[in-house]
Amino acid sequence: MADKKMVEAITSMEEDFAQWYTDVVKKADLCDYTSVKGCMVFKPAGYAIWELIQKQMDARFKETGVENVYLPMFIPESLLEKEKDHVEGFAPEVAWVTQGGLQPLTEKMCVRPTSETLFCDFYKNEVHSYRDLPKVYNQWCSVVRWEKETRPFLRSREFLWQEGHTIHATAEEAEARTIQMLDVYADFCEQVLAMPVVKGRKTDKEKFAGAEATYTIEALMHDGKALQSGTSHNFGDGFAKAFDIQYTDKDNTLKYPHQTSWGTTTRLIGAIIMVHGDNSGLKLPPLVAPTQVMIIPIRQNADGVLDKAYEIRAELLEKGFRVKVDDSDKSPGWKFAECEMRGVPIRIEIGPKDIENGTAIIARRDNGEKFECAIKDLAAKVEELIPTIQKDMLDAARARRDSQTFEAKTWEEFKKTFDEKSGFVKAMWCENRECEDKIKEELAVTSRCMPFDQEHIADTCVCCGKPAKKMVYWGRAY
Amino acid sequence: MADKKMVEAITSMEEDFAQWYTDVVKKADLCDYTSVKGCMVFKPAGYAIWELIQKQMDARFKETGVENVYLPMFIPESLLEKEKDHVEGFAPEVAWVTQGGLQPLTEKMCVRPTSETLFCDFYKNEVHSYRDLPKVYNQWCSVVRWEKETRPFLRSREFLWQEGHTIHATAEEAEARTIQMLDVYADFCEQVLAMPVVKGRKTDKEKFAGAEATYTIEALMHDGKALQSGTSHNFGDGFAKAFDIQYTDKDNTLKYPHQTSWGTTTRLIGAIIMVHGDNSGLKLPPLVAPTQVMIIPIRQNADGVLDKAYEIRAELLEKGFRVKVDDSDKSPGWKFAECEMRGVPIRIEIGPKDIENGTAIIARRDNGEKFECAIKDLAAKVEELIPTIQKDMLDAARARRDSQTFEAKTWEEFKKTFDEKSGFVKAMWCENRECEDKIKEELAVTSRCMPFDQEHIADTCVCCGKPAKKMVYWGRAY
């Protein structure tokens, strides 16, 4: 009964994808709503995924010379206003602090929606000579954007992220760092989250407020909608000029430095859910699974069963895997369903009969495969399975993404594809804002990016028929 | 010249301890002031210490079954007001958000000064049955308290911390967890920060707003002033009653659960500075030193010197140590001074002469010892030195703390000690608030704690002469 009820409680993704998502988030115990409108609680199962993302991404940052810092969460209004495009982009969606203690503030401050202005203010004090450059800093923190509609992990008024902010002597160095960090993100998504992404540049319409160029990684969800999964911005010397940051170069002249910023957020957890999940719940790539192996004893009250389960756990822990034994008083069936719902990559079943035979059952969450394994070989088998599952999940996600990626040469084809299918559509563009606006208005579709890997789909813009300049990934997005 | 200037720039601690502290914080490049009044920037050298604290403390938490979560940074006014003592304690010092986006909020929200109320609101949804208990959660985040006077690391309007919040079926279990976490803090301070602490209970006057009992670890700084370095609170069922959290127990009756909270902050970095530092700057215990070994090449342009330095670095990195080579174009003397200022525990000097002899010089930051070591033995020597320095620093800090801990039997003795000396004074107390108030008023001294290790100093209260009930550590505090 209980097993059935648990499985029944999830809406199938084919029936209602949005409801499926909400059900998984809730049933896999990742987060909860709160009395604070638009904000969420990261519960242990959800926060543990974020910790694994942080740990592995931070290590990759540090390999490229990134140093972590922490800047204040408040931005005085006058500071936010210094860069014109930036304040226009963010002022409408910030939370304002107007009172500190029992006194009204003389100048109101917003809670950071992003920290470019704070880093500029900081760098203005730190950077005087070419010897002070570059600075390659990052911070892990939360930011606030006063969104009207919110969804767990995808859009909330407060979310967790990392924001890198760098400052360089030359434009070339800044551009190189912008691309380098985009590459770090793309590799991380593929290798750690088993999630393929398209790398490219945003159009002017879609770029970050105050940036010269914004680069993005775009992933495709199970429902064919795109998710912007990380961005990297090159600011040129625009912020430096707005904040009057100058340095003395080797030739003894004053120059403006060049800046970048780049960020990823807890929205990556939403991406994991929507790229890998199925109608039994979450599917976690082993590298970000808080529990990689769940051992479920069968007839656990029988002599020696729990002892054997703990023994196997000890052996796997010893090897460095994240392992648990579910020794609760629920039925094995209920435990299986829960283990699937929570996305645990490997399940090991062991009962009295198995012990007699010196074997156990291994079940893979990613493809449902189930097979027998000698108890003495379990550790070696798990060691082999972890990278295998990681790779198979990436391959499966890539195949699905490719099957949901289309091409269109003409407006009719373009419209028909978006009417009938869901996914990325590759099509040519003349680089005029008008066409982008029209596509958004008529099809509710946005340009996701101008991919680095340009292809020649047609000679003409899919919208206006004039000569095309760029191939663009178009899609409906979260 | 440059070496001399760098050293001269620090005020000696005997001359002006507060200025010495500010100088070290600045010269060791730990943090900086900002345009945001009362808030600070954690620079890479400062933040890296916090990361090492986090990593090692978090591992100790998890060993005791703690799970990490993340709750919103905002608290609606009505939520903050639910527990009477708590709101009285915190309302006067919070920052209020009154506007979100372009609209005024219908209910103002404060930025969390601490999250008891949010956790209660969360637990009210999570805890229904004895099966849901205990929950042992923690979060790493920043909090805001609108302080008037601020000092780097010790008191700022925003600071970083961890706050654990647990909920239990019984009063006994809550009390046991409160003490367990105080023990985790005390062990961490001694073993990781090389900082001895006194464990004890706060008096009612000094306890946390809303707590039944507050326990504390108190450390003594170089100047003889006390620093409260971590606290653990038992709330009994007071918050559960205020928030109407109830669970159905095994006997099928509704009961109120019992709660605890416990926290440590970036003030621990201030403690490290003031417990270990000297007139050459910072002294970092190896376990929290971002750089444990600095290799300084002598005549680095001579053939093979840099290569040998990099070779030694590679060998030490291989062993898992945090090592750097200072290959900048500064003079060796300047590098030595900088390395001392930043508190790097071990310095290795290597020049052409040394290489010829197959040796290098090792210098310890903690006690100034300098000795020759065969290059081939360097890794083994460093491996031996790291725990040795860690232990010697704790021993030195404990000896200093003990030499600054006094006893007083009478008011005259008590007053005389605080007039002439600086440190902890152990003295008896009658447990009346009046005496505590009088001591604070006349001597600017507060009760630091009623230590777990009670001693019998005298029969009577050091203030009123009536029968004594408790031995108390008294001191002037940060």
The arithmetic mean of pLDDT across residues A266-277, rounded, is 98
Rounded Cα–Cα distance for residues A195 and A288 (Å): 12
Q: Indicate yes or no: CB of A69 within 8 angstroms of CB of B40.
A: no
List the structure tokens of B209: 């707003």
With an 8 Å Cβ cutoff, is A101 touching chain B?
Answer: yes
Q: Where is pLDDT greater, at A95 or A1? A: A95
Residues A172-181, mean pLDDT to the nearest whole number: 98
The answer to whether residue B391 scores a pLDDT higher than 80 is yes
Q: How far apart are CA B53 and CA B185, in angstroms?
A: 11
User: Topology of domain A291-388, per CATH?
Assistant: Rossmann fold (3.40.50)
Among B48, B76, B148, whose Cβ lies nearest the Cβ of A36? B76
Q: Which residue, among B29, B33, B37, would best test binding to A if mutated, counting the most A CBs under 10 Å from its CB?
A: B37
Task: Please report the residues numbered 121 through 150 in chain A whose beta carbons come closer than 8 angstroms to any beta carbon of chain B.
Answer: 121-122, 125-126, 137, 141-142, 144, 146, 148
* Amino acid letter, residue A374: A
Please state, in angstroms and rounded to a whole number, the distance separating the CA atoms of residues B267 and B228: 9
Q: Over 50: is that where the pLDDT of A161 sits?
A: yes
- pLDDT tens for residues B412-470? 999 999 999 999 999 999 999 999 999 999 999 999 999 999 999 999 999 999 999 99
- Chain A 169-208, residues with CB within 8 Å of chain B CB atoms: none
Distance CA B402, CA B409 (A): 18
Into which CATH architecture does domain B2-276 fall?
2-Layer Sandwich (3.30)
Tell me: the pLDDT tens digits for B314-351?
Answer: 999 999 999 999 999 999 999 999 999 999 999 999 99
- Using the Cβ of A73 and the Cβ atoms of chain B, whether some distance falls under 8 Å is answered with yes
Q: What is the pLDDT of residue A468?
A: 98
CA dist A207 and B109 (Å) reads: 32
At position B231, the amino acid (one-letter code) is T
The C-alpha angle B115, B117, B123, rounded to 5 degrees, equals 100
Closest residue in chain B to residue A95, using alpha carbons only: B100
User: Could you tell me whether strands B158-168 and B198-201 are parallel, antiparallel, or unpaired per DSSP bridges?
Assistant: unpaired
Q: What is the mean pLDDT of residues B271-289?
A: 98
Distance (Å) from the C-alpha of residue A150 to the closest C-alpha of chain B?
Answer: 14
Is there a contact between A463 and A439 (Cβ–Cβ < 8 Å)? Answer: yes
Task: Yes or no: say if A337 and A363 are a contact pair by the CB < 8 Å rule.
Answer: no
DSSP H or E stretch at residue A215: strand A213-220
C-beta separation of A316 from A378 below 8 A: yes
pLDDT for residue A35: 87
Q: Do B35 and A95 touch (CB under 8 A)?
A: no
Helix, strand, coil shares, percent, chain B, to 5: 40, 30, 30
For the purposes of burial, counting CB atoms within 10 Å of the CB of A381, is it exposed (0-12), middle (13-18) or buried (19 or more)?
middle
| Of the candidates B387, B278, B286, B339, the residue with the CA atom closest to the CA atom of residue B348 | B339
Residue carrying the six token digits 């961490």 = B188
The DSSP code for A348 is E
- For A453, list phi and psi in degrees, rounded to 5: -85, 85
Instruction: For residue A301, count CB atoms less than 10 angstroms from its CB and return exposed for 0-12, middle for 13-18, buried for 19 or more.
Output: exposed
Give the orientation angle of helix B305-318 with respect to helix B378-403, to 10 degrees: 70
pLDDT of residue A2: 45
**Per the omega criterion (within 30 degrees of 0), is the bond before B134 cis?**
yes
Whose tokens are 């509710």? That residue is A444
The 10 Å Cβ neighbour count of residue A308 is: 18
Q: Which of A352, A354, A372, A353 is nearest to A362 (CA)?
A: A372
Q: Does the complex come out with an ipTM higher than 0.85?
A: yes
Select from A323, A319, A320 the least CA-distant residue to A310. Answer: A323
Give the pLDDT band (50/70/90) at residue A8: low
The pLDDT of residue A1: 41
CATH superfamily for B291-387 is Anticodon-binding domain (3.40.50.800)
pLDDT above 90 (res A261): yes
Residue with tokens 């198979």: A392
Q: Is B67 on the interface with A (CB under 8 A)?
A: yes
Q: Which residue is closest to B77 within chain A, CA to CA?
A: A36
pLDDT at residue A85 in the model: 87
For the cut 60, the answer to whether the pLDDT of residue B271 exceeds it is yes
**How far is the C-alpha of B115 from the C-alpha of B117, rounded, in Å?**
5
What mean pLDDT comes out for the span A406-416? 98
To which H or E segment does residue B140 belong? strand B135-144
For chain A, what are the domain ranges?
2-276, 291-388, 405-475
B79 touches chain A (CB under 8 A): yes
The answer to whether the CB atoms of A36 and B160 lie below 8 A apart is no
pLDDT tens string B90-143: 888 999 999 998 899 999 999 999 999 999 999 999 999 999 999 999 999 999
- pLDDT category at B1 given cuts 50, 70, 90 is very low
Q: Residue A141: closest CA among chain B residues belongs to which residue?
A: B141
Give the distance from residue B143's alpha carbon to the nearest chain A alpha carbon, in angstroms. Answer: 10
Alpha helices in A64-199 (DSSP H): 77-80, 84-90, 116-126, 171-191
Which residues have a Cβ under 8 Å from the Cβ of B138 and sit 6 or more positions away?
B61, B66, B67, B68, B69, B162, B163, B164, B165
Residue B12 tokens, joined? 């000696």
**Minimal C-alpha gap between A327 and chain B (Å):** 14
Model confidence pLDDT, tens digit, residues B438-453: 999 999 999 999 999 9
pLDDT at B2: 45
Residue B95 sits at the chain A interface (C-beta within 8 Å)? yes
CB-CB neighbors (< 8 A) of B39 in chain A: 72-74
Residue B382 CA, distance from chain mean position? 27
Would you state the pLDDT for residue B80?
A: 93
* Distance separating alpha carbons of residues B141 and B162, to the nearest angstrom: 6
pLDDT at B6: 56
- Can you name the CATH fold of B405-475? Translation Initiation Factor IF3 (3.30.110)
Which residues contact residue B299 at a Cβ distance below 8 angstroms, ignoring those fewer than 6 apart?
B305, B351, B352
Q: What is the pLDDT of residues A31-43, one digit of tens each?
A: 998 888 899 999 9
Determine contact: A213 vs chain B, CB below 8 A.
no
Residue B35 has pLDDT above 90, yes or no: no
For position B89, what pLDDT does the model report? 87
Contact between A23 and A292 under an 8 Å Cβ cutoff? The reply is: no
